[in-house]
């Protein structure tokens, strides 16, 4: 800040000169004391100069008794999971009161490396939403899969020192941290020695293992699915992010553990939120509504989406309504239903009555296109030979990324190969490496996804984002994979050797270059066809549930292009029992 700007800020705060903008007749939400103030909010040069009393301004806006809240802040979100680019993501999410997100571009960096990070940073400049990136810490997430890139400790130094990133994103390789593996320590030390914070990811880690993980300098976790996990982390000094995504719905469960004494260490989080969810339900405004439904005081809930987040994420210039902070403000007409009237970012009105007010410009996607590279793929490579009828199947848990390692009997043909049997709730699942033409393919068994006809294939397969498919027959599965290659990534449904529907995702095979409304309309149709024609279980999200089946850092059993992985022991497992 220049001296003349500081003088101007002080002069406006003292009432000596008029503000650029004054919001008057509002109920100011004081998140420090969790109570309501009255008076004006004076804004100059994008900053809050003063609150309370009366101020003169070049422009005055009467908010007619509505609540003036700090803008909402999401501490951990993957923009790629919305299936749209950062510019479009900002257009969708800002009208819901969110003014800042701490984004983890883990998905695109696993596909395109630091070129993917550069794309996300440049595209984020085209939206009013303040997108701050964390540097993906685990690319690949494990040594048990092939990703599009490898990011070493040395590679991390430049993005962490040139202010492109704010710290290390979720450290998913929790076994590597707990076991103090050398390359993991190198990554941790890069962040620690630069005084950069480190986000966590430690599902179902307890006791001494949890102590070891936290001792490494990891400060938060968004993977709690039980009250026990939440309490273990709170008692050891972690912030706990209460997640409400499109598939993972942990918020209502964890709210039962939020008390007046620990609420300031709990934070609302989206993690993976589709454009469809944002359009139909909202973002943190929806999480706030759920908090209120579950009996949380509205002002305490707003703390969990503003001040708590700012403190955890070391955002010293926002998170509250106070002199000197950024004028990121959300105007709320109804505190119970969390109805957002308008949104200001750095003192500029950017959304009103659910509409984004600025022009949306898209950054060029050339650097992250053409991301599907297959070598020697054929239908014959999907055959699954078994040594017994008993197999380890990945059992789907609706609304969770967690799975169960379920032993189940399946049918085999005369050669001992798996065959689909409609009387048994399992299907074949395959992951096909798509980055370096290695030809890697691994096939296992999926339970309770519910597919009864045809096949589905997608290029969204956390975390390395190889191609993943499940189906009732090899012909439809192979056609779906070949179609993904033709459209260079996306989503495909096939049946009776015909393509029923395909949705291209040209940005790294992860995101569309179209609008959120377009991808939502396409995804609605895709899901309807998946449920109606393929018989997929209507308790699961066809795309996002399948995409989590390769997430080899979430218990209990997952599949990658290299094999079936027992996450509890971090070892490869034979499909046959």
1's CB contacts (< 8 A; 6+ apart) are none
- If we measure between CA atoms, which residue out of 492, 475, 421, 431 comes closest to residue 452? 421
pTM to 2 decimals?
0.94
Structure tokens belonging to residue 554: 């979430």
pLDDT of 501 over the 90 cut: yes
Sign of CA dihedral 529, 533, 538, 543: negative
Which pLDDT band, with edges at 50, 70 and 90, does 534 fall under? Answer: very high
Which residues are 197's β-sheet partners? 167
Backbone angles phi, psi at 550, to 5 degrees: -105, 10
pLDDT(1) > 90: no
* Closest listed residue to residue 471, CA positions, set 502, 492, 501, 440: 492
Structure tokens at 157: 């130094």
Average predicted confidence (pLDDT) for the chain: 96
**What mean pLDDT comes out for the span 533-558?**
94
Does residue 247 carry a pLDDT above 90? no
Our CA angle for 185, 188, 192, nearest 5°, is 130
398 has pLDDT over 90: no
pLDDT, residue 163, reads 86
Which tens digits make up the pLDDT trace of 290-311? 999 999 999 999 999 999 999 9
CA distance 198 to 193: 12
3-state SS, residue 20: strand
Q: Using CB atoms within 10 A of its CB, is residue 58 exposed (0-12), middle (13-18) or buried (19+)?
A: exposed
Residue (of 253, 264, 271) closest to 302 by Cα position = 264
Name the residue among 14, 5, 524, 30 with its Cα closest to residue 321: 30
Tell me the average pLDDT across 382-391. Answer: 98
Q: Which residues in 218-366 belong to E strands, given as ranges?
A: 220-221, 239-243, 266-269, 329-334, 339-345, 348-352, 355-356
Cβ atoms < 10 Å from Cβ of 532: 11
Domain boundaries, the chain: 3-65, 71-316, 369-573
Burial of 227 (0-12, 13-18, 19+ CB in 10 A): middle
Q: Which residues contact 281 (CB under 8 A, 6 or more apart)?
A: none
**Closest to 29 (Cα-Cα) out of 302, 387, 292:** 302
* Close Cβ partners of 511 (under 8 Å, ≥ 6 residues apart): 79, 80, 82, 83, 84, 85, 108, 505
Phi, psi of 184 (to 5 degrees): -70, -45
Measured over the CA atoms of residue 187, residue 191, residue 193 and residue 194, the dihedral's sign is positive
| pLDDT score of 332 | 98
- 216 pLDDT more than 90: yes
Q: Kindly indicate the confidence band of residue 188, based on its pLDDT and cuts at 50, 70 and 90.
A: very high
Q: Say yes or no: domain 3-65 is CATH 2.30.40.10.
A: yes
**Rg over CA atoms, the chain:** 24
307-334 confidence digits (pLDDT tens): 999 999 999 999 999 999 999 999 999 9
pLDDT band at 401 (very low <50, low <70, confident <90, very high): confident
CATH fold label, 71-316:
TIM Barrel (3.20.20)
- Per-residue model confidence (pLDDT) at position 190: 97
Strands (E) in 158-301, as ranges, are 165-168, 197-198, 220-221, 239-243, 266-269
Quick one: average pLDDT of 385-401? Answer: 94
């Amino acid at each position: 800040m220049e001296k003349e700007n500081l003088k101007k800020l002080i002069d406006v705060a003292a009432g000596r000169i008029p503000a650029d903008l004054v919001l008057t007749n509002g109920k100011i939400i004081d998140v420090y004391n969790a109570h309501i103030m009255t008076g004006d909010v004076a804004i100059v040069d994008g900053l809050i100069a003063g609150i309370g009393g009366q101020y003169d301004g070049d422009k005055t806006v009467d908010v007619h008794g509505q609540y003036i809240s700090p803008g909402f802040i999401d501490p951990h979100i993957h923009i790629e999971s919305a299936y749209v680019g950062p510019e479009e993501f900002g257009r969708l999410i800002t009208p819901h009161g969110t003014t800042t997100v701490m984004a983890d571009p883990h998905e695109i960096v696993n596909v395109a490396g630091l070129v993917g990070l550069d794309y996300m940073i440049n595209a984020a400049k085209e939206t009013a939403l303040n997108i701050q990136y964390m540097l993906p810490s685990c690319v690949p997430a494990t040594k048990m899969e092939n990703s599009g890139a490898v990011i070493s400790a040395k590679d991390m130094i430049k993005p962490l020192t040139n202010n492109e990133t704010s710290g290390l994103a979720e450290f998913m390789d929790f076994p590597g941290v707990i076991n103090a593996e050398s390359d993991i320590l190198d990554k941790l030390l890069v962040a620690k020695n630069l005084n950069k914070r480190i986000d966590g990811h430690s599902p179902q880690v307890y006791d001494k293992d949890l102590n070891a993980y936290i001792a490494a300098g990891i400060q938060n976790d968004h993977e709690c699915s039980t009250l026990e996990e939440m309490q273990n982390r709170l008692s050891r000094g972690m912030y706990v992010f209460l997640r409400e995504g499109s598939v993972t719905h942990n918020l209502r469960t964890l709210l039962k553990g939020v008390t007046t004494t620990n609420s300031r260490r709990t934070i609302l989080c989206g993690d993976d939120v589709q454009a469809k969810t944002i359009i139909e339900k909202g973002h943190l405004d929806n999480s706030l509504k759920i908090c209120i439904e579950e009996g949380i005081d509205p002002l305490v809930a707003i703390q969990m989406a503003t001040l708590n987040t700012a403190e955890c994420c070391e955002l010293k210039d926002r998170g509250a309504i106070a002199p000197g902070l950024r004028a990121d403000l959300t105007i709320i007409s109804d505190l119970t239903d969390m109805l957002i009237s308008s949104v200001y970012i750095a003192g500029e009105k950017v959304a009103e009555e659910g509409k984004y007010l600025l022009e949306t410009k898209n950054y060029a996607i050339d650097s992250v296109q053409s991301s599907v590279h297959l070598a020697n793929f054929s239908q014959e490579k999907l055959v699954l030979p078994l040594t017994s009828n008993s197999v380890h199947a990945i059992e789907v848990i609706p609304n969770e990324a967690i799975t169960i390692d379920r032993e189940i009997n399946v049918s085999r043909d005369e050669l001992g190969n798996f065959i689909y049997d409609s009387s048994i709730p399992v299907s074949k699942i395959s992951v096909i490496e798509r980055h370096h033409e290695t030809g890697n393919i691994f096939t296992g068994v999926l339970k309770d996804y519910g597919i009864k006809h045809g096949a589905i294939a997608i290029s969204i397969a956390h975390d390395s984002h190889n191609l993943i498919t499940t189906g009732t027959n090899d012909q439809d599965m192979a056609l779906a994979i070949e179609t993904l290659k033709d459209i260079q990534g996306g989503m495909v449904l096939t049946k009776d050797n015909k393509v029923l529907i395909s949705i291209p995702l040209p940005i790294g095979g992860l995101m569309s270059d179209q609008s959120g409304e377009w991808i939502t309309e396409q995804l609605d149709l895709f899901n309807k066809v998946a449920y109606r024609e393929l018989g997929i279980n209507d308790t699961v999200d066809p795309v996002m549930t399948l995409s989590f089946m390769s997430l080899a850092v979430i218990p209990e059993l997952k599949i990658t292009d290299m094999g079936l992985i027992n996450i509890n022991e971090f070892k490869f497992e034979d499909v046959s029992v």
